[in-house]
Amino acid sequence: MSRTGRPPERILKDPRKRQAWVIYQISLQGRSLAELARGAGVRRQTLYQAFHRHYPRMERIIAEAVGLEPKTLWPERYDADGQPAKRRGRPRKSTVMTRKNNTTE
């Protein structure tokens, strides 16, 4: 069970409300996102990136700070098994080679 309770669905759907809710929950603990970032050994801006794009490590740090799992806080970014829904990194190059038609008569 989480320490702060699960946020209402309307908060999870709106990224701005979700960010405000997270900051509020952390401030209730007498902490800030800057302190969280220092504790994780990253810059504050790096931690804030999790609010705008998929960043599993930062999402985990923020979710643990509010007592939730990342898949609960960002349900659109995770599948039912709790695995990230998006592949990370560059897309793979196609391995299919086209062959020239080498017919001799």
- Contact between 4 and 29 under an 8 Å Cβ cutoff? The reply is no
What is the per-residue pLDDT across 9-64, written as a single tens digit (0 to 9) for each? 788 888 889 999 999 999 999 999 999 999 999 999 999 999 999 899 999 999 99
pTM of the model: 0.72
Evaluate whether residue 40 is within a structural domain.
yes
Q: Which two tokens stand for residue 94?
A: 């196609």
What are 59-102's pLDDT values in tens digits? Answer: 999 999 999 998 888 888 888 877 887 666 666 676 655 555 55
| Number of domains the chain is built from | 1
- Is residue 100 in some structural domain? no
Domain that holds residue 55: 9-77
For the four alpha carbons of 8, 10, 11 and 15, in that order, the dihedral sign comes to: positive
pLDDT for 94 equals 65
Is 72 inside a domain boundary? yes
